[in-house]
Structure 1
Amino acid sequence: MKLLVAIGGNALVSPEHESGGQIDQAKIEAVAASLVALEEEHSLIITHGNGPQVGWLAMQEIEANMSLDLLDAQSEGVIGYRLAQAMDNCRQRERSLSLLTRVVVDTDDPAFSHPAKPVGPVLDESRAQRLASQQGWQFAEVAGGRRRVVASPQPVRVVESAAISQLMSAGYSVICAGGGGIPVLEQQGQSRGISAVIDKDYTSALLAAELKLDVLLLLTNVEALYDNWNQPTARAVRLAGCESLRDRGFQQGSMGPKVEAACRFVRDGGGFAGIGRLTEAQAILEERRGTRIVTDNVPVTWW
C-alpha cells in the first residue's frame, strides 16, 4: 500500500528536552527503524511536526527576529536531513530523500487574526510579558505558565506534490511537509512566505488526498484515540466512522486536529486513517492496535 506517515514533533525529542525542542539522536534512530520496517511492505511518504523545534529556534533568533516561514524551513531541513540519514543508515541503502515543501495558504484565513497554535517552551509570566512587549509575540495560558501562540492557517495546496509523487514512484521514501510545510501566499503570479505554522496533520491529510494514497497514519505517543480522555469513563476507540465522532469534544490542542485530518482524508477518497503509537504502526494497519477511522457512518467500537 501507499502510506503517508505523520510523526508528531514530540516523538523526536527526549522527555527531559521536550520544552527546548532539541532533537534526540536515539529518538531519531528509533523512529527511523520503525519507518524502515514499514518499507518492507509499503511505499512511504513521511511528514513530521515541528512545534517544539520551531518555537525553540525562535527563542534563539530573538535578536534577528526571523519570520516563522524561515524558521519552518530551517527546522524542516534539519529534521528531514537527520531522519533521512538515520533511515539510510538503518537499512544500509540510500532510499530516503528530504524535500523542503511549500504549502499555499489563504491571506484571508481567520487564523491570522486569531493566533492559537502553541509553539516553543512554557515560559513564566514575567518573561512572557517581556517578549510580548519587545517582540509583539502573543501568549496563551497553559499548565505551568504561558506559551507562545502563532497563526495556523489551513493548507490550500502543496506546491511540490507532483515532485513528491514522482519521487515516490521512483522508489524513494520521501520526507516532506515538515511542520506542515513552509506557508506561502500566491498573489498576482508571485509567491512569498508568510509568518505562520501550519498544522502538520491538516497538511498531511491534504497531501495524502492529493496523491490518492491508500492510508493516512497519524502517529503519536498515545496508543489510540480515547473517548472521554482523562475521565474515569475513558475508553480507547477501535473503529469509528467520521459521523459517529462528531461533537465528541476532542481537544483542539491534541487529538482534535488528528480526528479532523483523518476525516478530511477519508472523505476525500482515502481508504482509512489510523491513529496510534509510532512503534505500533504495522499493528495499526492490521487493525490489532490503535484507532481506525473510516468515512462511512460506522458506529464507534472500543477496545
Structure 2
Amino acid sequence: MKKKRIVIALGHEALGTTLPEQKKATKLTAKAIGDYIKDDCQVVLSHSNGPQVGMIHTAMAEFARIYPEYTATPMSVCSAMSQGYIGYDLQNAIRTELLNRGIYKPVSTVLTQVTVDPYDEAFYHPTKIIGRVMTEEEAEVEEKKGNHTVKQGDGYRRIVAAPKPMDIVEIDAIRALSDADQVVIACGGGGIPVLEQDNNLKGASAVIEKDLAAGKLAELLDADQLIILTSVEHVCLNYGTANEQPLDEMTVEEAKQYMDEGQFEEGTMLPKIQAAID
C-alpha cells in the first residue's frame, strides 16, 4: 500500500530566533513531526529562515565593514548558510525523537536551489525586509552599492526581491530520498534563489516566500497533503477589525474571491493561501 506523502511548512515560530531558542523549538517541533511518521506517512519538511538569514547577512556585512579586504556575502550564500545550520538542528532533533520512539528512519537535509524568473515583477519592486536597523548614513552606503533600503520607524532596513519559485533544482534527489522512506528537509527558507544562465546557476539577490516554495515542493512531489504550520489559530476575514470572522474551512473558489477582495495580508497570510490554492 502506497504511503501518504505530506509536505509540512514550518513557520519561524517553530524554530525560534536565537540559537538556544532554536535548539529548544526544534525538539518540540520534532515531537509533532514524529506523530505523522508514527502514522506511517512520508514526510518532507520545509522551513522558514526569516530571522536567521537576516542575522547571517548582518553578521557577514559587519565583518566586511570591519575588514574591507573581505567582500560582502551575497544573499544567496546567506540563504545556503541558513539551510545548513537550521537543517542541522532539525534533522538531529527529529532523528533523536524517532529513536526515542523506537523508529529507525534516516533524516536528511538537502541543500536546495530554486529557480526564479529574472523578469519577475518582484525584482523591480523589492518588498522583503532583511537585516538590522540602519542609520540614514548606513542606508546611503547600501544604496550606493546598488542595494535597496526603506525607512522603518527611526531607522532604515534593507529590502530585497521576493520572486515566485519556478522550479526546484534538486527535486529528483528529494523525491528519491522520500521514495526510499527517508524524512527529508528541503527548500529551507524558500530555497536558495538562482537564475539559470546557459548551463550555470547564478545566485539571485532575493528571498523566496517559503510558503510558495512549499507549495511548489508539494506540487512537484505530487504530495497528498500540504500542511502550513503557523501560530495563528484561524484564517480570518476582516482581520483586526470589529467584524473579524474566523474561518475553519473554505473552497478554492471562496479563497480566490477573498484574495481578490484583499482579505489576506501580503507577506503573512496571503502567500499561505496562494500556496494552498496552487
TM-score, normalised relative to structure 2? 0.85
2 and 25 in structure 1: CA distance in 2 versus 1, 3 angstrom threshold: same
Gap regions ≥5 residues in structure 1:
265-303
Amino acid at match of 2:11: G
124 and 67 in structure 1: CA distance in 2 versus 1, 3 angstrom threshold: closer
Q: Whole-Å Cα distance in 2 between the matches of residues 147 and 37 of structure 1? A: 40
Gap regions ≥5 residues in structure 2:
65-70
User: Percent sequence identity over matched residues?
Assistant: 33
Q: Deviations over 1:144-176 (max 9, x none)?
A: 754332111111111111111111111111000
Q: Whole-Å Cα distance in 2 between the matches of residues 145 and 28 of structure 1? A: 33
Q: Whole-Å Cα distance in 1 between the matches of residues 219 and 118 of structure 2? A: 23
Q: State the 1:141 CA deviation.
A: 4.5
Helix, strand or coil at the partner of 1:73:
helix
Helix, strand or coil at the partner of 1:44:
strand
Contact 1:88 1:95 in 2 (8 A): yes
Contact 1:45 1:168 in 2 (8 A): yes
**Residue of structure 1 equivalent to 2:272:** 258
Q: Whole-Å Cα distance in 2 between the matches of residues 223 and 130 of structure 1? A: 41
Larger mean CA deviation between 137-146 and 228-237 belongs to 137-146
Contact 1:22 1:53 in 2 (8 A): no
Q: State the 1:134 CA deviation.
A: 6.3
**Residue of structure 1 equivalent to 2:60:** 61
211 and 144 in structure 1: CA distance in 2 versus 1, 3 angstrom threshold: farther
Q: Whole-Å Cα distance in 2 between the matches of residues 230 and 3 of structure 1? A: 32
Q: Whole-Å Cα distance in 1 between the matches of residues 226 and 275 of structure 2? A: 9
Contact 1:227 1:248 in 2 (8 A): no
In the alignment, structure 1 residue 164 sits paired with structure 2 residue 177: no
Contact 1:51 1:118 in 2 (8 A): no
**Residue of structure 1 equivalent to 2:193:** 183
In the alignment, structure 1 residue 112 sits paired with structure 2 residue 113: no
**Residue of structure 2 equivalent to 1:139:** 149
Contact 2:105 2:181 in 1 (8 A): no
Indicate the RMSD between aligned Cα atoms, in angstroms: 2.1
Amino acid at match of 1:262: A
128 and 214 in structure 1: CA distance in 2 versus 1, 3 angstrom threshold: farther
**Residue of structure 1 equivalent to 2:91:** 84
**Residue of structure 2 equivalent to 1:44:** 43
TM-score, normalised relative to structure 1? 0.79
Which of the numbers 58, 70, 86 marks the counterpart of 2:77?
70
Q: Whole-Å Cα distance in 2 between the matches of residues 47 and 99 of structure 1? A: 10
**Residue of structure 1 equivalent to 2:238:** 228
- Report 1 or 2 for greater relative contact order, CA contacts < 8 Å, sequence distance ≥ 6: 2
Aligned length: 258
**Residue of structure 2 equivalent to 1:29:** 27
Helix, strand or coil at the partner of 1:239:
coil
Aligned pairs (5 A) from 1:150-161: 150-161=160-171
